[in-house]
Structure 1
Amino acid sequence: MELFGTLVLAAIVFCLLFLLFRGDSRYARMPPGPTPVPLIGNLLQLNQWAFHESFMKLKETYGPVMTVYLGPKPLVVLVGFDAVHEALVEQADAFAGRAVPPLFKQLKLDFGLGQSNGERWKQLRRFSLSTLRDFGMGRRNVEEWIQEEVKHLTEEFRKTEGAPFDPTITLSRAVSNVICSIVFGQRFDYQDKNFVDLLSLLEAHLRLLSKPIGMLYNMFPVLTKLIPGPFNKMLMNVNELTTFTSAMIDKHKATLVSDSPRDYIDSFLIKMKQESNNPDTEFNYDNLNMTILDLFIAGTETTSTTLRYGWLILMKYPHIQENVQKEIDMVIGQERAPAMEDRRKMPYTDAVLHEIQRFIDLQPLNVFHKTTRDTIFRGYTIPENTVVIPMLHSVLFEKTKWATPDTFNPSHFLDENGCFRMNPSFMPFSTGKRICAGEGLAKMELFLFFTTLLQNFSFCPTEDPDSISLSPDSKLVFKTLRPYKFKAIPR
């Protein structure tokens, strides 16, 4: 009876909110969209496992700018390059807000760089971009850190002696070590128990957040009390993750030298001291903890998933793998490690890497934005604090921007002379003021990991290439890849 009463109350609240929105002149001029039903909004009209596919179909009826209700709240969906670019670039300030999901607030994840807004976001982003750009990692630069880490990964692959194995765990540890070097000033041994446990916890946490229950918690926050099991697990995960980061911060505080920062944490702690008398500063322990987690998560999962997806694609299309290796042999050879300066001489490899990022469509919905003020967009009024989905899938697969959008085709990034050519619709890191802060690092990692491993190994599937499926395990928010095994055959 208690649950029934709660649902009835929620339905009444939805109706009142809906009437209030319709009665407000700002909401009366919002973009068109399907009519919502009480409580659940438009959920029954959407594919619960792939919202982006439903939004693409709705675009045929309502156009590239539409209003959709996920639960009781309206949000605006932008479909296609023109709409996304116009909002995030041409009206950047108005669409620069970050929509912080209710679940994230309940989990106290609304601090740090990724989920912040206003002055907090401005201060943390400015500092983080400057620190990540300028930091040479002590006496070595970031490129050298990556090159060293790829050597460790190469040795791990050699230990398999050509036997089938799942690269997920080893690759995740290698990629994570790069961001660990930048943030913590150290790499971890692949068998380090604390490191292994941390990555396992991170993977489990992201998988849980990506399940439909996570979306339901955001649409109906009351469910965290009615169905508390998954929420309590999420909260426990966050607490364990912050326990690790807090321990790293304490370790840095004990050995900090104010005029000689070793890594990102040192730089942040020094900034905290400098701003200690500023009442408006955002440099505090809550923001440091969450920014570390933001960088750690972004610097581990996205790059490692992209690489694993890339290898699967190369095994399905072995002629592409052979062409990449020919270019590696011609430009780099076998006597030295790949370096970033090689990329400009390797248009085909560069094209393949860009096409992997486009084709896998890692975050089809993008990270949600929100409007920072009442905004006029294409004749519609979008009120302040409205959630906005600038859908990356619609840009990366737009038929008018790509010759064969549904096919893996490196020629999307090559001109008639075989030279690399950037496509303006390539935006896997989003675009505008909220573009991924780690874009430069991710591109460097992808190139060096990809070329070094293909320089040393050929990747062979354990099944017929025609049988390899490229479809993800989940594609609701963040695409996750099904586990697979391959054989790394030394060249």
Structure 2
Amino acid sequence: MELFWTLVLSTIVVGLLLLLLHEHSSRNTTMPPGPTPLPFIGNMLQLNSKALHESFMELNEKYGPVMTVHLGPKPLVVLVGFEVVHEALVQQADAFAGRAMSPLIKELSLDFGLVQSNGERWKQLRRFSLSTLRDFGMGRSRIEEWIQEEVKYLTEEFRKTKGSPCEPTLFLSRAVSNVICSIVFGQRFDYQDENFVKLLTLVDENLHLFSKPISLLYNIFPALIKLIPGHFNKILKNVNEIKQFTSAMIEEHKATLVSDSPRDFIDSFLIKMKQESNNPDTEFNYDNLNITILDLFTAGTETTSTTLRYGLLILMKYPHIQEKVQKEIDMVIGRDRAPAMEDRRKMPYTDAVLHEIQRFIDLLPLNVLHMTTKDTVIRGYTIPAGTMVAPMLHSVMFAKTNWATPDTFNPSHFLDENGCFKMNSSFMPFSTGKRKCAGEGLAMMELILFFSTLLQNFTFRPTEDPANINLSPDSKLIFKILRPYKFMAIPR
């Protein structure tokens, strides 16, 4: 009798599951194809929770360049390959210009500011931010001089190590961060400033926390934030401490503000707040200022400093490439003056190496998730408004059809047959379209000036056999995080 009822209950359960799957498929007949999801958990059992992009690349072989994958109960449209990513983000820019709002970001009250906002808020803040960043020198000679000055401090710090092994993370993050600090806060910080070092430590720690699988689970099953709050509370504590720092900077600026003479980004935003104080629909308020500062500081520090750190590790693994870059620098610039942006066009190999570093390290393999702003059609599939979209940068920068040796570090990807620099349309580490990184120009200027100055002054040697250097990241869920390592900066 027990066996009979077991069989009956099993039949009922299976029937209900099939019914749910049928209802789901009938509601989404025009959505892109994808693996059949299970109720509640979606396709999670079929995905590598530590490297979603790798799972998506495998599924692409079966389902094509536009597919639907369910992260829990929520559908995610995954775009694979240059053609479809370009079609969505450039040719249908407005439809795919939304930013997917994750429950974790919302719970942390980070849905203000430049990166995570949508609609009119995002439009106003992006327009203002781009204009203000240009006013304070982004992409111009003024910021070039700031970077040249900052890299002098950095080279001096490396000289102090006297060629002994050192861990480069804090060296590079302090230097890179000071560039964006000059624009946002109107000042640079001493490398020994305790509050500055603490701030950088908090940002780095949160990057690691956001890259843990449990953060992905929070976004898929938001109830876990309340049920298993420990991980969330660590992130929240760090966010609040960072906000305390930015809030203190805002208050200092308020006390010394001169309305017709802005000194930096914060001053400009405060002036705009006063100008729009009678506008009930304004997006220029304290919350947006605070989170925009956090966005600019975080993005302006982590991506570029990680690229520098990753790049130096690659050059140590391939010392013949480091030597070739140094020979080009010596020939074009010499040792008696600081590198400048005008030198770039005379250093095609160095430029190619920098581009190949960015392609190869693939910092944001999934891209920052987008969201459709309206019902739209792509490749014959109808994507409803409000659907999460992953335009995979990994699939663009590692496509076998676009790169000669995509899985190998190869500067020749950016050189023509005459050794001249050539751009590849599939190079998009800053994404593309309306959500393209606002700081691309600044980041490229920093990379060129930091790398060329460091390699002009030092040869970087590993503490182990170059053949044993491991280039694989410690984490690759959202942002590729490099394993800790040490090097020796040997003066030239």
Normalised by the length of structure 1, the TM-score is 0.95
Q: Tell me how far apart the structure 2 counterparts of residues 127 and 279 of structure 1 sit (CA, whole Å).
A: 18
Could you report, residue by residue, the CA deviation over 1:309-366 in whole angstroms, capped at 9, with x for unpaired residues? Answer: 0000000110100110011011111111001111111100000000000000000000
1:82 paired to 2:103: no
> CA contact under 8 A between 2:374 and 2:386: conserved in structure 1?
yes
1:223 paired to 2:224: yes
Q: Give the aligned partner of residue 180 of structure 1.
A: 181
> CA contact under 8 A between 2:166 and 2:488: conserved in structure 1?
yes
Q: Tell me how far apart the structure 1 counterparts of residues 26 and 225 of structure 2 sit (CA, whole Å).
A: 31
1:301 paired to 2:302: yes
Q: Superposition pairs for residues 202-241 of structure 1, below 5 Å?
A: 202-241=203-242
Could you report, residue by residue, the CA deviation over 1:159-204 in whole angstroms, capped at 9, with x for unpaired residues? Answer: 0001111111111111111111110000111110111111111111
In the alignment, structure 2 segments of 5+ residues that lack a partner are: 1-15
Structure 1 residue 136: deviation in Å? 3.3
1:95 paired to 2:96: yes
Q: Which amino acid aligns with 1:68?
A: V
Could you report, residue by residue, the CA deviation over 1:227-282 in whole angstroms, capped at 9, with x for unpaired residues? Answer: 01111121111111111101000000000011111100001111111111111110
Q: Give the aligned partner of residue 245 of structure 1.
A: 246
Q: Give the aligned partner of residue 124 of structure 1.
A: 125
Q: Which amino acid aligns with 2:97?
A: A
Structure 1 residue 206: deviation in Å? 1.3
Q: Tell me how far apart the structure 1 counterparts of residues 232 and 203 of structure 2 sit (CA, whole Å).
A: 15
Counterparts in 2 of 1:199 and 1:32: CA distance versus 1, 3 Å:
same
Q: Give the aligned partner of residue 70 of structure 1.
A: 71
- SS of residue in 2 equivalent to 1:459: strand
In the alignment, structure 1 segments of 5+ residues that lack a partner are: 1-12
Q: Give the aligned partner of residue 394 of structure 1.
A: 395
Moved more, 229-238 or 446-455: 229-238
> CA contact under 8 A between 2:147 and 2:446: conserved in structure 1?
yes
- SS of residue in 1 equivalent to 2:455: helix
Counterparts in 2 of 1:279 and 1:378: CA distance versus 1, 3 Å:
same
Structure 1 residue 19: deviation in Å? 6.5
Q: Give the aligned partner of residue 359 of structure 2.
A: 358
Q: Which amino acid aligns with 2:413?
A: H
- SS of residue in 1 equivalent to 2:69: strand
Counterparts in 2 of 1:268 and 1:15: CA distance versus 1, 3 Å:
farther
- SS of residue in 2 equivalent to 1:77: strand
Q: Tell me how far apart the structure 2 counterparts of residues 283 and 19 of structure 1 sit (CA, whole Å).
A: 47
Q: Tell me how far apart the structure 1 counterparts of residues 280 and 344 of structure 2 sit (CA, whole Å).
A: 46
- SS of residue in 2 equivalent to 1:141: helix
Q: Which amino acid aligns with 2:383?
A: I
Q: Tell me how far apart the structure 2 counterparts of residues 14 and 173 of structure 1 sit (CA, whole Å).
A: 54
Could you report, residue by residue, the CA deviation over 1:92-121 in whole angstroms, capped at 9, with x for unpaired residues? Answer: 111000001111000000000000000000
1:284 paired to 2:285: yes
Q: Give the aligned partner of residue 155 of structure 1.
A: 156
Q: Tell me how far apart the structure 2 counterparts of residues 41 and 475 of structure 1 sit (CA, whole Å).
A: 22
Q: Give the aligned partner of residue 61 of structure 1.
A: 62
Q: Give the aligned partner of residue 9 of structure 2.
A: none
> CA contact under 8 A between 2:20 and 2:39: conserved in structure 1?
no
1:108 paired to 2:109: yes
- SS of residue in 2 equivalent to 1:28: coil
Q: Give the aligned partner of residue 467 of structure 1.
A: 468
1:270 paired to 2:252: no
Q: Tell me how far apart the structure 2 counterparts of residues 209 and 362 of structure 1 sit (CA, whole Å).
A: 14
Normalised by the length of structure 2, the TM-score is 0.95
> CA contact under 8 A between 1:396 and 1:405: conserved in structure 2?
yes
> CA contact under 8 A between 1:95 and 1:370: conserved in structure 2?
yes
Structure 1 residue 16: deviation in Å? 9.7
Moved more, 211-220 or 273-282: 273-282
Q: Tell me how far apart the structure 1 counterparts of residues 193 and 174 of structure 2 sit (CA, whole Å).
A: 10
Q: Which amino acid aligns with 1:367?
A: V
Q: Superposition pairs for residues 30-69 of structure 1, below 5 Å?
A: 30-69=31-70
Structure 1 residue 414: deviation in Å? 0.5
Q: Tell me how far apart the structure 2 counterparts of residues 372 and 79 of structure 1 sit (CA, whole Å).
A: 20
- SS of residue in 1 equivalent to 2:323: helix
Q: Give the aligned partner of residue 146 of structure 1.
A: 147
Q: Give the aligned partner of residue 3 of structure 2.
A: none
Counterparts in 2 of 1:44 and 1:334: CA distance versus 1, 3 Å:
same
Q: Which amino acid aligns with 2:376?
A: T
Q: Which amino acid aligns with 1:52?
A: H
Counterparts in 2 of 1:88 and 1:14: CA distance versus 1, 3 Å:
farther
Could you report, residue by residue, the CA deviation over 1:1-53 in whole angstroms, capped at 9, with x for unpaired residues? Answer: xxxxxxxxxxxx999987765444xx320000000112211111111211111
Counterparts in 2 of 1:272 and 1:214: CA distance versus 1, 3 Å:
same
What count of residue pairs does the alignment treat as equivalent? 478
Q: Tell me how far apart the structure 2 counterparts of residues 417 and 408 of structure 1 sit (CA, whole Å).
A: 20
Q: Which amino acid aligns with 2:63?
A: Y
> CA contact under 8 A between 1:15 and 1:38: conserved in structure 2?
no
> CA contact under 8 A between 1:366 and 1:392: conserved in structure 2?
yes
Structure 1 residue 205: deviation in Å? 1.2
Q: Tell me how far apart the structure 2 counterparts of residues 159 and 178 of structure 1 sit (CA, whole Å).
A: 22
Identity of aligned residues (%): 79
Q: Give the aligned partner of residue 434 of structure 1.
A: 435
Q: Tell me how far apart the structure 1 counterparts of residues 411 and 34 of structure 2 sit (CA, whole Å).
A: 36
> CA contact under 8 A between 1:462 and 1:486: conserved in structure 2?
yes
Q: Give the aligned partner of residue 348 of structure 1.
A: 349
Taking only aligned residues, the RMSD between alpha carbons, in angstroms, comes to 1.8
